[in-house]
Every structure is written in C-alpha cells, then in structure tokens.
Amino acid sequence: MRKRERLLNLLCLLWSSKHRFTREEIFRRMVPYRNYANPETARRTFERDKKTLRQVGFDIQTSQLDEGPATYTLAQPNNALGEMQLSDSERMALAVSVAMVKLGGALSVDRTLVKLGAGLPGGMAAMNVDMGDLETEKVHDLLGAVQSRSHIFFDYKGSRRKQVEPLRIVNRSGQWYLQAREEQVVKTFRIDRLSGLYVSPREDMYDLALSSEGPNILTAEPWEFGEEEAIETTVRFDAEAAWYVRPRLPSSVGIKEEDDGSLTVVTAVTNRAAFFFWMLDFVADGEIVGPDSMRRAMVEWVMQSLGGEQK
Amino acid sequence: MTYAQPLGGLGRLLMVIPWLIKERVVPIREMERRFAIKPEQLVKDMEALNEVDFFVSPEQRFSVEITGEHVKVMEAPEFPATPGFLPFEALGCLVAAKAALEMNPEASDLASAVEKLEKAMIPNAAKALRIFSAARAPWVNQLREWATDRRVVRLRYRSTDKGEISDREVEPWQVYQWMGTWYLWGFSRTKGEPRRYRVDGIQRAKPTGEGFRPPRRVPPPPTTYRRGPNDHRVVFLIRPPARWITEHYSMQVLSEDPEGVATAEFYTRDPRVAARLALRLGPNIHIVEGSAARRELATLAAAVLGRYGCSD
C-alpha cells in the first residue's frame, strides 16, 4: 500500500470516532502497519506518518495516563472559536499579524491564514519573530489545565515528580515557560524540560490569583530576582555610549538623562553575578558609582576573570 | 489617539486599514492626524497588499478613492464567516497576534481580536498566555520598510564584540527577532557577503538612493555560529553557575566532572568574543586554551580596572 493511502486510512480511522486509540489498537485495525515483519519498523513508520499529518495541519493529539500506553485522537475544530464574531476590521488585523509575524519553531500558520481569508504574501519583507520550539500538544494540555484549574504532574530535570497548580504559559525572548504554584510558592519551569505530563481530571482545585510579592520572575531582569540581600546600585554610562546603551536598558530600571548626555541608572541588585554579566557587556563604557561595596565587588570580579589559579 | 512618529509598514497595516474598513469614509486630515500617514503612502500600502496576493481569492481586493478631502473605501475584502480553527491553529494565531500586539500596542482592532480569541480559547483564564517580546528597538519598522522597497541602506554600525563604529552599505533582506534581540539580515556590499547586524547597534541608517535585487531564495538568517577555516579555538573551564552559557553559545562540551565543572570548546573568528565572555562571567569561567583570547581578556580587564582607578 502506498504511503498516501496509508495516511488517508490512518486519518479516516482517527476521524471516525472520538475514541482515543492506542498504537496497538491502530495496528490491529490497519493492515499496512500489521504487515511489517519487524515491529520496530512498524513503529517508526507510524511515528513518521503522525509527523507528516501534523506537518500538513492535522492536529493528532497524544495523551498518556501514568504508566499506561499513549493514546491518539484527532482534534476537531473548536465550536467556540467559530462563534467569536470577529468584525471585518478585527479579522483584517489578525490576518495581517499572522501573515507578517512569522513564527519560528513548530507553529505553522499557513492554514490559519487561509481560514482568515488571507494568503502568504510573497513580496513583503516579513517581521520574523522566533518564538522558539513550541510543543503545541503540551501547551494545549497546559492551557486546558489552567482553564479548569486542575493540578498537573510532571518530571523535571531529574528531580522528583512534581505536583503543581499551573497559572500561566509565558514566552519570553523565544523561550517557553510554565509559571505554576508548588507548595504555595510560585515557580517557573521551562516547558521543553518538562516530561511525562499528566493533567488531573479533578477541576476547580485552586485559585488562579498570583501572589504578588517580589519581582515577577518573567518580567524582571536576572539580577533582580536573586536571593542575595538587595543593594540599590547606581551606574553611570558615558554620553558617547548613551545611544546604544539606552535601547539595551530594561524597562524595570530607573533612568535619568544628565545634562551632558550621560545616563544614570538605578537598580536593585539581588544577584551580583547576573548584574556584572550584564554590566560588563558595556566593558568600560559604564561605571558603578555607588555604593562602594559594589564598586569593590566589580573590581574583584574582573580581577578573578584574569586569575586562572584561583578557579 | 495621535501617533507622533510615522508608523512602520506593519503598524500601518495593523491600524490604518482596519480603521478604514470600519469607517468606510474618513477625512484625510483625520487620517493624517491620527496616524501621521499621507494618502500617497496609503495607496502604496494597498497596492502592495493587492500585488502580493495577500487575499486568498483573486476577487478579494482592497481599494480606496481619494477625493480632495476624504478617503473612501471602494472595495474591501469579504472575510469568511467562521474561521473554525483547530486548537493548534488558534494557538498559532493567538501567539502571532500577541507578538504583533506587543510590538504595536496601539492597534486597537488587533487588541479586541486577541481578547475575543483568548476568551473563546480559554474562557476561564483569558490571561493564561503571555508573550514578552523584545523591546521595540529604534529602526525596526524603518528597516523592514526599506527591505520591502529593496532600497540599499548605509548604516553607521557599532560592532557588538569589537565596539568599533564603521559605515556599511547593506542590501536589507529581512528584520527578525531571535532570542529576544532584533537583527537585520542582508547582503553587506562593504564585506561582499551576507551579514547580520544587531539593530540596537545601528547608530544611523539612510537609503543610498540605489535599489537592489534580492536573491531568488534569500538564505535563512544564521541562528548558530558557522565555523570558519581561520577561526580561533578556545577551551573554557566552566563552573556550574555559568554552565548555562553552553546552551546559549555554540559550544561543544568536551567533559564534565562529578561536581558539574565542564570543559567546553568554542570557535570564534575574533578572540575578543571569547575574551568578553570570560570577562563577563568572572570567576565562573576560565580560559584553559587560547592565547589570543587570553591576551584580549587582559586588555579588556585593564580597560575596566582603569575606569575604577586600579590601573596596576
């Protein structure tokens, strides 16, 4: 049987029922997979077929309960999305943004564009924004868990299995994060490092309101969310460097433009290593003007960068 | 609302055209006041949309008539009644729209569309998906416009690693954001090869008046470092607090001891790149091999220490 027919049969099977099929069930129902003498070849062919179907826009969803086998189903269009009642001007704005902001990673929006009434403009320079590799299936499940306020369980970077209350999904600078509450503390997890995700079927288990104390780890700069005692630090950047320093300053710091064109920046530092890493990107175009303890710490940091034997 | 700065191409498409679709007839003066856009620019944008087959159906066109004082919409596309997105399509659409909104927060039609999409997708937790894009760097919109118009640009550019300022003539192909930073990708006439430039390193930019023809297939911008034949090899010893740099830079981890101290190999055209990393990471990294990088590190460190009054 040719590949095209096999793919069509797989689609028909998944489409025919809301049942979630295990791979074994699919193999039992479909001769082409069953006919492979080597089960490993059949498995690899099935994985390739799923990938092909996903690439052309079919949303094959996988789920796995605890140690049980993975099951597969084909997502149906969401009726609620058809009832959004977008005005023509909103539809136009959506189409333009989807056409012009090219997403890197796994998200393909070509079919989405067609549904919005637009194609892929060939002659316009797009504004490419790399949003990183997004595992849509995982994100879809996580968003579902946030919506139903259900606990989730997952393995993370080799630590013991975690149970958390998911609060939001965030993309910062092309990296995808889950922000979730674990034992009353709001923590941030990289989604690509999270595996064995299980969403509890029990709903309305917690409140979505975030605890507000401290800087938001997802909007603050790295030197603002360390665990060291906060030191209010003042930095002066030279006037000649101001034009390129300014766009690189985070919005969270206080900035004053002096009469001579230099910039004075005030920020609270709770992670000195992160602060020096940022500050030394400007090498000698800027200088810590206070407090003295931070000036001394900077000098020591630079000296240590030279002293190999101290490592 | 009035926008003091002229909008870039994306901003115009996101704000002016949806506004015209809604209003149908608008005074030119009002359009100029709100968006700082001239009728000629509007006509150019519409022609661009029609020429590049933005709309799926060839019958779908957008055109306006400009009289002495008004802009009147003559043809506007008819959009399909219900998009009927699959969940992952809706997610892609929402992410793109949120990224565009982050860059153009004044686009009110896009903001309301995003709100509706969020409510439909995740009705009980509409703010569950957040996109933090890179800050809007100066020149981004302007450079994209010149790339679309295929205009050669002269840049006054400060190189990130050397800190040297020089003039370059560039055929701009694309403006893109990667790892939270905006870049211009194009052909450098000065260097005779494709180059990428950090947009926040551009001090001045101006079209030279010349046009250019981009290659039939523009090569994708580099996202990893491509090693050259004359590259410097540097070997770092990296302590656990700085271990993250092996994921952010093109480094090959050679070994790792039980305490998490890694040895990693790094190739660079300019040893100052490695020196700068070593300076920034202080006691958490050490150059094990690479004499040129070590010399550059000494120079950089001396400059910083001199600034703090410790020149010896």
A107 interface with B at CB cutoff 8 Å: yes
Report the predicted TM-score, pTM, of the whole model to 2 decimal places. Answer: 0.68
Q: What is the pLDDT of residue B7?
A: 42
Q: What is the pLDDT of residues A91-132, one digit of tens each?
A: 878 877 777 666 655 445 555 655 565 554 554 455 566 666
Dist. CA B100–CA B117, nearest whole Å: 14
User: Which whole-number Å values give the CA distances from B194 to B140, B148, B161, B191, in the listed order?
Assistant: 19, 17, 18, 8
Which among B21, B83, B101 has the least Cβ separation from residue A116?
B83
Stated as kind and residue range, the H or E segment containing B272 is: helix B271-281
Whether A295 has its CB under 8 Å from any CB of chain B: the answer is yes
Q: Has the ipTM of the complex gone over 0.85?
A: no
| pLDDT tens for each residue of A23-82 | 888 888 888 888 888 888 889 999 888 887 776 656 777 877 667 788 888 766 555 556
Find how far residue A285's CA is from the centre of its chain: 34
Provide the 10 A C-beta neighbour count for residue B301.
22
Cβ–Cβ gap A302/B200 under 8 Å: no
pLDDT range class, residue A215, cuts 50, 70, 90: low
User: Contact A96/B148, CB-based, under 8 Å?
Assistant: no
Q: Which residues contact B244 (CB under 8 A, 6 or more apart)?
A: none
Instruction: State how far Cα A155 lies from the chain centre.
Output: 17
Chain A residue with Cα closest to B158: A244
Are A117 and B79 a contacting pair at CB < 8 A?
yes
Report the C-alpha gap between A208 and A181 in whole angstroms. 9
Residues 160-219 of A with CB under 8 A from B: 167-174, 208, 218-219
Q: Chain B neighbours among A 126-145 (CB < 8 Å)?
A: 126-131, 134, 136-137, 139-140, 143
Q: What number of other Cβ atoms are within 10 A of residue B186's Cβ?
A: 28
State the smallest CA–CA distance between residue B270 and chain A in angstroms: 16
Distance in Å from the first CA to the final CA of chain B: 57
Q: Is the separation of the CB atoms in A148 and A203 below 8 Å?
A: yes
Residue B246 — φ and ψ, nearest 5°? -70, -20
Range from A15-24, A191-200, A208-217, A296-305 carrying the lowest mean pLDDT = A208-217
